Amino acid sequence: MAIPYMETVVGFMIVMYVFETYLDLRQHTALKLPTLPKTLVGVISQEKFEKSRAYSLDKSHFHFVHEFVTILMDSAILFFGILPWFWKISGGFLPIVGLDPENEILHTLSFLAGLMTWSQITDLPFSLYSTFVIESRHGFNKQTIWMFIRDMIKGILLSVILAPPIVAAIIVIVQKGGPYLAIYLWAFMFILSLVMMTIYPVLIAPLFNKFTPLPDGDLREKIEKLASSLKFPLKKLFVVDGSTRSSHSNAYMYGFFKNKRIVLYDTLIQQCQNENEIVAVIAHELGHWKLNHTTYSFIAVQHTVIPLQHLVSFGLNLVSRAFEFQADAFAVNLGYAKDLRPALVKLQEENLSAMNTDPLYSAYHYSHPPLVERLRAIDGQDKKTD
Over residues 84-95, the pLDDT tens digits come to 888 888 888 888
Task: Report pLDDT for 308.
Answer: 61
CA distances from 292 to 162, 288, 296 (A): 30, 6, 6
Q: What is the mean pLDDT of residues 185-201?
A: 85
Q: For 52-96, what is the HEC assignment? A: HHHHHHHHHHHHHHHHHHHHHHHHHHHHCCHHHHHHHHHHHHHHH
Residue 386 — very low, low, confident or very high, per pLDDT cuts 50/70/90?
Answer: low
Q: What is the mean pLDDT of the chain?
A: 87
Residue 283 — very low, low, confident or very high, per pLDDT cuts 50/70/90?
Answer: very high
2 vs 137, residue with greater confidence: 137
234 vs 273, residue with greater confidence: 234
pLDDT for residue 233 is more than 70: yes
Per-position b or e across 183-218, b if 16+ CB within 10 A of its CB:
ebbeebbeeeeeeeeeeebeeebeebeeeeebeeee
Helices 145-176, 104-129: axis angle to 10 degrees equals 150
Task: Report pLDDT for 104.
Answer: 87
Give the helix ranges, DSSP H, for the chain.
5-31, 46-79, 82-93, 104-129, 136-137, 145-176, 181-199, 218-229, 266-271, 275-290, 293-299, 308-333, 337-350, 359-365, 371-385
Any catalytic annotation for residue 50?
Answer: no
Residue 11 — very low, low, confident or very high, per pLDDT cuts 50/70/90?
Answer: confident
Which segment of 119-123, 191-195, 217-221, 337-341 scores lowest on mean pLDDT? Answer: 191-195
Burial class (CB in 10 A: 0-12, 13-18, 19+), 155: middle
Task: Report pLDDT for 205.
Answer: 87
Residue 158 — very low, low, confident or very high, per pLDDT cuts 50/70/90?
Answer: very high
Which segment of 106-110, 140-144, 299-303, 351-355 scores lowest on mean pLDDT? Answer: 299-303
- Residue 337 CA to residue 328 CA, distance in Å, equals 9
How many CB atoms are closer than 10 A to CB 90? 20
Q: Which of 24, 58, 277, 285 is catalytic?
A: 285
Any catalytic annotation for residue 328?
Answer: yes
Dihedrals φ, ψ of 383, to 5°?
Answer: -65, -35
Pairing of strands 211-213, 260-265: unpaired
Specify the amino acid at residue 210: K
Specify the amino acid at residue 335: G
- Residue 25 CA to residue 366 CA, distance in Å, equals 16
Tens-place pLDDT, residues 175-188: 888 888 888 888 88
Secondary structure class of 212 (helix, strand, coil): strand
How many CB atoms are closer than 10 A to CB 247? 20
pLDDT for residue 221 is more than 90: yes
Q: What is the mean pLDDT of residues 259-285?
A: 88
CB contact at 8 A, 19 and 361: no
Q: Which of 328, 349, 350, 373 is catalytic?
A: 328
Specify the amino acid at residue 112: L
- Residue 195 CA to residue 182 CA, distance in Å, equals 20
pLDDT for residue 326 is more than 70: yes
- Residue 381 CA to residue 366 CA, distance in Å, equals 22
Q: What is the mean pLDDT of residues 297-301?
A: 67
Torsion of CA 383, 228, 251, 242, to 10 degrees: 140
Q: Is the preceding peptide bond at 307 cis, omega within 30 degrees of 0?
A: yes
Q: What is the mean pLDDT of residues 283-304?
A: 76
pLDDT for residue 269 is more than 70: yes
- Residue 109 CA to residue 104 CA, distance in Å, equals 9
Residue 101 — very low, low, confident or very high, per pLDDT cuts 50/70/90?
Answer: confident
Task: Report pLDDT for 127.
Answer: 95
Secondary structure class of 217 (helix, strand, coil): coil
Q: What is the mean pLDDT of residues 96-119?
A: 87
- With pLDDT > 90 as the criterion, what percentage of the chain qualifies? 39
Tens-place pLDDT, residues 22-72: 999 999 999 999 999 988 888 888 899 999 999 999 999 999 999 999 999
- Residue 268 CA to residue 277 CA, distance in Å, equals 10
Which segment of 94-103, 121-130, 165-174 scores lowest on mean pLDDT? Answer: 94-103
